[in-house]
Chains A and B, each alone.
Chain A
Amino acid sequence: MDAILAQLLNGLDKGGAYALIALGLTLVFGTLGVVNFAHGALFMLGAFCAVTIRLLLSMETVTIDPEKLSPWGTPLEVRTPLAQQWFGDWGSVMLDYSVPLAILLAVPIMLILGIVMERGLIKHFYKRPHAEQILVTFGLAIVLQEIVKAFFGPNPIPQPVPTDFRGAADVGAWFGLQAGAVTYPVWRLVYLLFSVGILAAVFAFLRFTTFGMVVRAGMADRETVGILGINIDRRFTIMFGLAAVVAGVAGVMYTPLLPPNYHLGMDFLVLSFVVVVVGGMGSLPGAVAAGFLLGIVQSFASMTEIKSLLPGIDQIIIYLIAVIILLVRPRGLLGRSGVMET
């Protein structure tokens, strides 16, 4: 029981990340009919928004104190972070909370980036074959990640968890188990809640706003919506921006769990595509369900008991599931019939 709960939780936060990326992917596919291989790069760019904010906040001024000497006999250097100089105590709090703070930066940046990307590039590929869409976005992903590499270098840059969220939560106790049986890092719990929140927000936006209703109508029958005099292209562009924002904030919040480096996006992209395919191309609930499902399955597969039974299963389980699903149920778990079923 303890072990099962622990593995369930382990899978959920990773599943949350998969679900967020896959949601954006499938949203783009469902609206624009474009297969976006650069979506993982957007996740990575989000993560680097967090890195940038931290770099900006930790910029320091160095002044030399003539009165005191350091233990080495040289004049003592006094380093004050600019943030502290400007904001006082708030500055250090801001530095501590740099990761959540980065969301404020990531949202506008990703939105603009997404819209520019859609208008500048993707727009011209609506009518081109899927193979060319895959290729051009693959090229874009390479370009984006190489730009990031040029600025931040090839090594992972660890980001700290805010002090208040460090340590582990005794989740087992909440479920009436023995105290200390199942502990779970607080930040991963935060990530899980965060991803659920974002997912709920996106679904609510699509379900309960007029804008969302139009978008859903456009996904179902783009032509008719166009005939009714609605500029569906503009709404779809905004949805692309939204998908970019979702991927971006998912990346920001994931940085404390996994130090970001430039090919973070590619690593997640392959998995997210598998998630989308398992969930059903173009199906939003499918992407979310498959994201969490595959996250959990992966974490169960990495249990020692299972690994000793089937060595190597943790490395391939996700791909194996994708293969099986595609062969027995080509439209995916929750895909609509007729959408990309061949």
Chain B
Amino acid sequence: MDILVLPRKDLIVFICFAVVVLAMPIWLTPFGAAYPGLMQKFVIFALFAVGYNILFGLTGYLSFGHAAFLGVGSYTAVWSFKLLTMDVLPALVLAVVLSGIFSLAIGYVSLRRSGIYFSILTLAFAQMCYNLAYSVLTPITNGETSLQLSRLDARVVDAAFGVVRGERLPSPSLFGVELGGHAGFYLCAVVLLVAFFVAQKVFNSPFGMMLKAIKSNQTRMSYTGFNTRPYALAAFVISGMYAGLAGGLLAVTDPLAGAERMQWTASGEVVLMTILGGVGTLIGPVIGAWLIKYLENIFSAFNDAMLHRTFSFLPDGLQDGVVAVASKFVGEGWHLTLGLVFMLVVIFLPGGIMEGARRIRMAFGQRSGSAPQTKPDPVPAE
């Protein structure tokens, strides 16, 4: 069972990570974020970002089309619920397989170019998927109304096992256990842990080294006799499957799939999470995803009355002024804050939060053995 063994240091990281993820309902309570819907989102988007990082962090290929795979995963999972069974296992497997096929096709074409051309090719493919999902593929995607379950769906496998159609809409289940609330969260959490473990293996493997070599100097790598494209394609497909898995889980927690999940702003969001946390690190994208989803939840819920309460210590005239300014950044204006944070991070801290943490550690002189390599290589894949 060599494949399940991690180096000692990574094992510690993994165990810490597992504890943190599984204990989320406990440590998120003081932050007021310990309800299942939000925690599921935390875990799912962390999964998405970890997968994206395998492509962007390791190979340096900046894809602007990963939301398409997320969408494909969601649609597949919902169709599996509709046609086969309400069990999540086939839904997730199918989501991963189909998004894998999609990413193989798209990656095969897109990876013929690199640098900005690659970004634009992936963007073009994602926009194609999005536009088609809205127009011609409406029989499959249900267009603007988004794909949903209905009581009268076929569910062939369930019917074969003699599951009786109930009066209400069935909900996704795992081996007969319904996945509402915390059960759904723990399913997502376990999936995330498995995915994180796989990502750790990828980072440590010779294959991961190849990917890092592609990022640091692709030309030199091909001079040494490697064909870089299969490696990059493998990374692309892996990250596409992660995205599909995340999409499938989104459908599990809420059996509904809409085309807006595939829009390129959604792809931008995962780039943001990865950058904010720290490109090329394992934990970074997870932190980025959590931070963005948490802030989104907090900021978009703020309204003027809450702001007035927050700034009530200020004198009246000043208070109104501060609230007027601050209200532009919360609620509806949450994206403005997001954009600003994003710009600041790219300008001053291209390595993201992980880089910031490393700098702070360096400043305090506590260099604990080997400082983790977080600084991204300045040479992009071109």
Asked whether any CB of chain B lies closer than 8 Å to the CB of A6, the reply is no
Bound-complex Cα distance A327 to B117 (A): 10
Asked whether any CB of chain B lies closer than 8 Å to the CB of A230, the reply is no
Asked whether any CB of chain A lies closer than 8 Å to the CB of B28, the reply is no
The stretch that binds B, out of A142-150, A173-181, A188-196, A237-245, is A142-150
Please pick, from B114, B117, B264, B338, the residue contacting A142 in the complex, using a CB distance under 8 A. Answer: B338
Question: Shortest Cβ distance from B280 into chain A, in angstroms?
Answer: 12
Q: Are A146 and B339 in contact (CB under 8 A)?
A: yes
With contacts A129-B380, A274-B120 known, is A136 near B343, CB below 8 A? yes
Bound-complex Cα distance A319 to B119 (A): 13
Q: Are A330 and B117 in contact (CB under 8 A)?
A: yes
With contacts A142-B339, A342-B382 known, is A130 near B124, CB below 8 A? no
Bound-complex Cα distance A315 to B132 (A): 7
Asked whether any CB of chain B lies closer than 8 Å to the CB of A311, the reply is yes
With contacts A131-B60, A323-B125 known, is A143 near B336, CB below 8 A? yes
Bound-complex Cα distance A312 to B116 (A): 27
Question: Shortest Cβ distance from A273 into chain B, in angstroms?
Answer: 6
**Chain B residues, Cβ within 8 Å of A142:** 335-336, 338-339, 342
Contact flags (1/0) for A257-280 with B, using CB distance below 8 Å? Answer: 000000000100010011001000
The chain A residue with its CB closest to the CB of B130 is A315
Q: Are A277 and B117 in contact (CB under 8 A)?
A: yes
With contacts A130-B380, A277-B120, A323-B121 known, is A140 near B132, CB below 8 A? no
**Chain B residues, Cβ within 8 Å of A2:** none
Q: Are B346 and A132 in contact (CB under 8 A)?
A: yes
Q: Are A274 and B124 in contact (CB under 8 A)?
A: yes
Bound-complex Cα distance A150 to B333 (A): 7
Asked whether any CB of chain B lies closer than 8 Å to the CB of A197, the reply is no
Contact flags (1/0) for A15-44 with B, using CB distance below 8 Å? Answer: 000000000000000000001000000000
**Chain A residues, Cβ within 8 Å of B188:** none
Asked whether any CB of chain B lies closer than 8 Å to the CB of A134, the reply is yes
Q: Are A135 and B120 in contact (CB under 8 A)?
A: no
**Chain A residues, Cβ within 8 Å of B120:** 273-274, 277, 322, 326
Q: Are B340 and A143 in contact (CB under 8 A)?
A: yes
Asked whether any CB of chain A lies closer than 8 Å to the CB of B181, the reply is no
Q: Are A323 and B347 in contact (CB under 8 A)?
A: no
Bound-complex Cα distance A124 to B348 (A): 11
Please pick, from A135, A311, A322, the residue contacting B346 in the complex, using a CB distance under 8 A. Answer: A135
Asked whether any CB of chain A lies closer than 8 Å to the CB of B12, the reply is no
Q: Are A136 and B60 in contact (CB under 8 A)?
A: no
With contacts A136-B346, A312-B135 known, is A270 near B380, CB below 8 A? no
Q: Are A140 and B131 in contact (CB under 8 A)?
A: no
Please pick, from B109, B113, B339, the residue contacting A330 in the complex, using a CB distance under 8 A. Answer: B113
Asked whether any CB of chain B lies closer than 8 Å to the CB of A139, the reply is yes
With contacts A132-B350, A138-B268 known, is A342 near B114, CB below 8 A? yes
Bound-complex Cα distance A134 to B119 (A): 9
**Which residues of chain B from 58 to 93 have a CB within 8 Å of any chain A CB?**
60, 62
Asked whether any CB of chain A lies closer than 8 Å to the CB of B273, the reply is no
Q: Are A311 and B117 in contact (CB under 8 A)?
A: no
User: Quick one: which of A139, A147, A150 has the most chain B CB within 10 A?
Assistant: A139
**Chain B residues, Cβ within 8 Å of A140:** 339, 343
Question: Shortest Cβ distance from B266 into chain A, in angstroms?
Answer: 13
Question: Shortest Cβ distance from B215 into chain A, in angstroms?
Answer: 10
**Chain B residues, Cβ within 8 Å of A135:** 62, 271, 275, 342, 346
**Chain A residues, Cβ within 8 Å of B62:** 131, 134-135
**Chain B residues, Cβ within 8 Å of A116:** none
Q: Are A129 and B264 in contact (CB under 8 A)?
A: no
Asked whether any CB of chain A lies closer than 8 Å to the CB of B353, the reply is no
Bound-complex Cα distance A140 to B62 (A): 18
The chain A residue with its CB closest to the CB of B339 is A142
Q: Are A146 and B333 in contact (CB under 8 A)?
A: yes
Question: Shortest Cβ distance from B307 into chain A, in angstroms?
Answer: 15
**Chain A residues, Cβ within 8 Å of B265:** 266
Question: Shortest Cβ distance from B196 into chain A, in angstroms?
Answer: 24
Question: Shortest Cβ distance from A233 into chain B, in angstroms?
Answer: 19
Asked whether any CB of chain B lies closer than 8 Å to the CB of A220, the reply is no
Asked whether any CB of chain B lies closer than 8 Å to the CB of A93, the reply is no
With contacts A138-B268, A327-B112, A330-B113 known, is A150 near B275, CB below 8 A? no
Asked whether any CB of chain A lies closer than 8 Å to the CB of B314, the reply is no
Show 7 A/B contacts (Cβ-Cβ < 8 Å), sorted by A. Answer: A129-B380, A143-B339, A274-B120, A315-B128, A319-B125, A323-B121, A340-B115
Question: 16 new A-B pairs (CB below 8 Å) besides A136-B346, A139-B342, A342-B115?
Answer: A128-B350, A128-B378, A129-B380, A131-B380, A135-B271, A135-B346, A142-B336, A150-B332, A150-B333, A312-B131, A312-B136, A319-B124, A322-B120, A322-B121, A326-B112, A327-B112
